[in-house]
Amino acid sequence: MKQGIVYLVGAGPGDPGLITVKGRDCLQLADVVVYDYLSNPCLLEQAPADAERIYVGKRKGMHHYPQEKITALLLDLARAGKVVVRLKGGDPFVFGRGGEEAQALASAGIRFEIVPGVTSAVAAAAYAGIPMTHRDFTTTLGLVTGHEDPAKKMSSLNWEKLSTAVGTLVFYMGMANLETICEQLIAHGRSPKTPVAAIRWATTPKQETLTGTLATIVEQVRSADFKPPALIFVGEVVALRESLRWFDNRPLFGKRVLVTRTAAQSGSFSAQLEAAGAEAICCPVIEITPPPSYAELDAAIGRLPETDYLVLTSANAVDAFFARLKVDNKDVRALYGTIVAVVGPKTADALQRYGLQADLVAADFRAEGVVAELLQHGVADKRILYPHAELARDIITRELTAAGARVAAPVAYSSRLPANGETLRALLQNGEIDAVTFTASSTVDNFIALLGEDASKLLGTTPLFSIGPLTSATMVRHNLKIAAESTPSTLDALVDSLSNYFTKAH
């Protein structure tokens, strides 16, 4: 039996991008991931598909696994020869009981490694715009656990030294004892006017920051019903947040935006939305499928040496064409001498993934744009290959044929409704969506098909955003009110239109 090993990995504070490279590498090796409540579930996707995932999260009053059972589980898995990743929120050695787990592994003679993580105090301060040290304010920092029995009045802390000897104090798990913390700090010499910040769900789209002073923060927390998990920052540096806040100052911060693109295409758009501060809720309303037959496309690929132009109008068309090219044991060399025309920069980017630069990129990011571009170059007697979606408009075939071109227009891919209508319905019913985005006419049609007659009622006053005039025309046909239409018809412009809308709304 192979020897097991346990990696005690700090998952960081919530933003999955803050896990270390080594932490991610350990996840990719895992046979088993043992994870807790504060670990971002997205990180589990880094583990192999067949890796076992065991949740051992603990919350106040809801201990799923006692610590002793977690430790025993780690020992049992390692003894069975497993590569175990113990994924812990923040850093395993900063109030994470990683030290206790490491001691148990060492005593049992089991191999282990410690992989540090970004502890929540460091991350929360950075994302709230609070430098924990600053030479104009303080050069001392203290990290304190505030998680004790309130009846003890946190007696294990030396309040007399703690209150005035350290410039910035950070209390972990201290919300239940906030009143005691403030009282003790004031009683032992800290000014009641000392700035305080409470930060919850740090580094996530749900991050909230409440600022006050030692004299006011307790009442502010009560009035706002500010619940844990949260960290408490005490010190003059908290005042710098007013000028340094950035994370929750972004135009779409806290907005939950529904992404209706296909699962394969939602990633880049979601990343753009998240960069603007939004939480992207991916619920594809369209699923790409093979065409009824590849016969026409395969025949057209066989005639590539005779083809003058290849026209690709979407990333889906690019992927479908090259997938079929590979099936025929061909690659980009088969396009030697063929001019490749695409609609818009995103389709050009998709083409570059296959090592090919577009020869023509339509300035108008619609079929009309590529037609105009080709007509300028002259298409009479030219052979044109236009692989397209099953339900695509016929404007390219019709206009280029009328201009004297010989157009082969095989169906390269089809689409269908995904089985997620109930998920979509629940998101809207529960008020979990602040905006809906449509990136093609097909997403509008399928959205309505999934929701049926209840679409308007479920949407209510939720603002709807269109990527361009063709999509907007489909929305109008379904009696959907358009909050904004992007110009030009790109994902970048669509994100800008959302940002402008919500900025004006405030």
CA nearest to 363, candidates 382, 339, 341, 383? 341
Structure tokens at 324: 């079929």
- The H or E element that residue 163 is part of is helix 159-165
Number of H helices, E strands in the chain: 19, 25
Contact 313, 347 (CB under 8 A): yes
Q: How far apart are CA 253 and CA 205, in angstroms?
A: 7
Contact 240, 130 (CB under 8 A): yes
Exposed/middle/buried for 364, CB within 10 Å: 0-12, 13-18, 19+?
A: middle
Has 58 been annotated as catalytic? yes
Of 88, 132, 154, 173, catalytic: 173
Contact 404, 280 (CB under 8 A): no
Residue 251 forms beta bridges with which residues? none
Of 31, 36, 91, 445, catalytic: 36
- The H or E element that residue 156 is part of is none
Of 22, 58, 153, 330, catalytic: 58
End-to-end CA distance of the chain: 62
**For 384, phi and psi rounded to 5 degrees?**
-125, 130
CB-CB neighbours of 325 under 10 Å: 19
Give the DSSP letter of residue 289. E
The residues annotated as belonging to the active site are 36, 58, 173
